[in-house]
Amino acid sequence: MRDCTKFYIDGQWVDPARADTREVENPATEKAIGHISFGSAADVDKAVAAARRAFEDWQFSSRETRLELLRAILAEIGKRREDLASAISDEMGAPMSLANGPHVGLLAGHCQTAIEVLESFEFERQDGPTLHLYEPIGVVGMITPWNWPLNQIACKVFPALATGCTMILKPSEIAPFNAVIFAEIMDAAGVPAGVFNLVNGDGPGVGEAISGHPDIDMVSFTGSTRAGVAIAANAAPTVKRVAQELGGKSPNIVLDDSVFAQSVARGTTAMMGNSGQTCTAPSRMLVPHQRMEEAKAAAREAAEKVVPGDPKGNATIGPVVSKAQWDKIQGLIEQGIADGATLVAGGPGKPEGLETGHYVRPTVFADVTNDMTIAREEIFGPVLTILGYEDYDDAVRIANDTEYGLASHITGEDVETAKKLARRIRAGRVAINGGYDMNAAFGGYKKSGNGREWGRFGFHDFLEIKAVMGVGS
């Protein structure tokens, strides 16, 4: 059992202001694997005071000081890789290959990227008679989710640290243990007291206290659009900056070409990764109407190769993170059937032989229309919807017919056509044939949020711009 009932505030592990411990469940076994404390506004006040004091010095720290610290953190990540992966697998149900691969790999990757960006980042620039200074915004409140927990911690903490900000992190109460280990890494690396603080808890107890706190200069949030709206409203009276990475319902336009079947299979497999719990997942596959039957066959074959099971074994995917998440997914699968979509693979209920654990059958719907609930709502599970299009103009129209705009995908052999279509899609990211880059800007259009994370773009979210005029050219 993991008992992580203390918070990391001002460089020390401290008791919460009040005793309120909660269990954390392993979604594969449905059994408790440990406890955390749920914080309160009093804990947030203490963490903010520490961060505010630390900011007085950290904002003026040198580039080399920050680089040395990030390099020390990267070294400590390497020492704790197995511990991090074990925590991710236990609290999320991620297969160990996924936990020890992409999950921990993204943490290290963002740290390395922050180092590379910081080495040459321009914090001041002479523009004619004006000197523009890029200065840290101040104390940042960070609220992160459970689905890619280390990634979402990393792409906030490292740019904030590199730009001279101090911070308070509230990780998800569903998957908190990886964040506790992360705090231990920060401590071991020598992060100055108060620069990084960790307070566990839920939205009403800690999240609201962070988003409305008058001494927090910025809130960086990743999570649902519903929660993002609430955070923005709570932050409004204090006129703090709010950066948000929210929901998605990403289209995947499959080109009409000779590798069509391979593209469908590839998109199906990609949708199922991390048990479908990825905000950029290619959840709406768009295929030519005349090739719908071919798409069904290729998607069915690919889905049947996705094996749910014990995260400690050789399964392709583990369970979804909670009973609440499982119930939501089941309801949407039932809704898809009721709305008349063709069930190609999977369906309601748990996979055979997996009665214990929040497992979902890898599911594919075809003949879906864009007005169906399963085409509009973010399911956040291993459920793919396949829609038909007449031509590429129609494909773009369907792709853009969503309140979200986080990501989009285009798959096929004609990259030039894909590039033309990418320019017409209203989304923050377009991945052509699975393209991936740690330096690429990450963020959304429309109800998928605002601001940009990752690489040098992530630095700008945490900086204010000061114009000093009359200093010559």
Beta bridge partners of 466: 133
Which residues make Cβ contacts (< 8 Å) with residue 160, sequence separation at least 6? 136, 140, 142, 166, 167, 220, 462
Are 290 and 389 spatial neighbours (Cβ–Cβ below 8 Å)? no
**How is the chain split among helix, strand and coil, in percent rounded to 5?**
40, 25, 35
- DSSP assignment string, 119-172: HH--SEEEETTEEEEEEE--EEEEE--SSSHHHHHHHHHHHHHHTT-EEEEE--
Told to judge if 4 belongs to the known catalytic residues of this protein, a careful annotator would answer: no
pLDDT range class, residue 471, cuts 50, 70, 90: confident
User: Quick one: three-class SS letters along 329-343?
Assistant: HHHHHHHHHHCCCEE
Distances 57 to 8, 53, 65, 194 between C-alpha atoms, Å: 20, 8, 12, 11
pLDDT range class, residue 414, cuts 50, 70, 90: very high
Query: Which residue is associated with the tokens 């990227």?
Result: 113
pLDDT tens track for 359-383: 999 999 999 999 999 999 999 999 9
Q: What is the mean pLDDT of the chain?
A: 97
CA atoms of 191 and 50, how far apart (whole Å) = 13
CA atoms of 359 and 396, how far apart (whole Å) = 34
Q: What SS3 class is residue 275?
A: helix
CA atoms of 81 and 107, how far apart (whole Å) = 10
CA atoms of 210 and 228, how far apart (whole Å) = 13
Cβ atoms < 10 Å from Cβ of 299: 26
As a whole number, mean pLDDT of residues 393-410 equals 98
CA atoms of 462 and 164, how far apart (whole Å) = 9
Of these residues, 111, 155, 165, 279, which one is catalytic?
279
As a whole number, mean pLDDT of residues 379-404 equals 98
Q: What SS3 class is residue 306?
A: coil
pLDDT tens track for 166-187: 999 999 999 999 999 999 999 9
Told to judge if 245 belongs to the known catalytic residues of this protein, a careful annotator would answer: yes
Are 350 and 359 spatial neighbours (Cβ–Cβ below 8 Å)? yes
Which residues make Cβ contacts (< 8 Å) with residue 319, sequence separation at least 6? 27, 28, 93, 275, 308, 311, 326, 357, 358, 359, 360
**Parallel/antiparallel/unpaired status of strands 363-368 and 342-345:** antiparallel
As a whole number, mean pLDDT of residues 82-102 equals 97
Of these residues, 208, 245, 378, 453, which one is catalytic?
245
**Yes or no: domain 2-246+448-469 corresponds to CATH 3.40.605.10:** yes
pLDDT of residue 431: 98
As a whole number, mean pLDDT of residues 239-257 equals 97
Q: Name the CA radius of gyration of the chain, rounded.
A: 23
pLDDT of residue 473: 66
pLDDT tens track for 196-246: 999 999 999 999 999 999 999 999 999 999 999 999 999 999 999 999 999
- DSSP assignment string, 59-102: TT--HHHHHHHHHHHHHHHHHTHHHHHHHHHHHH---HHHIIII
pLDDT tens track for 294-347: 999 999 999 999 999 999 999 999 999 999 999 999 999 999 999 999 999 999
Query: Which residue is associated with the tokens 């991936």?
Result: 436
Domain boundaries, the chain: 2-246+448-469, 251-437
Q: How far is CA 413 from the centre of its chain?
A: 29
pLDDT range class, residue 1, cuts 50, 70, 90: confident
Are 246 and 257 spatial neighbours (Cβ–Cβ below 8 Å)? no
CA atoms of 291 and 188, how far apart (whole Å) = 56
Element (DSSP H or E) covering residue 52: helix 41-58
Tokens of 38: 């749920």
As a whole number, mean pLDDT of residues 457-469 equals 97
CA atoms of 401 and 251, how far apart (whole Å) = 10
CA atoms of 137 and 249, how far apart (whole Å) = 32
As a whole number, mean pLDDT of residues 1-24 equals 96
**Yes or no: domain 251-437 corresponds to CATH 3.40.309.10:** yes
As a whole number, mean pLDDT of residues 444-472 equals 95
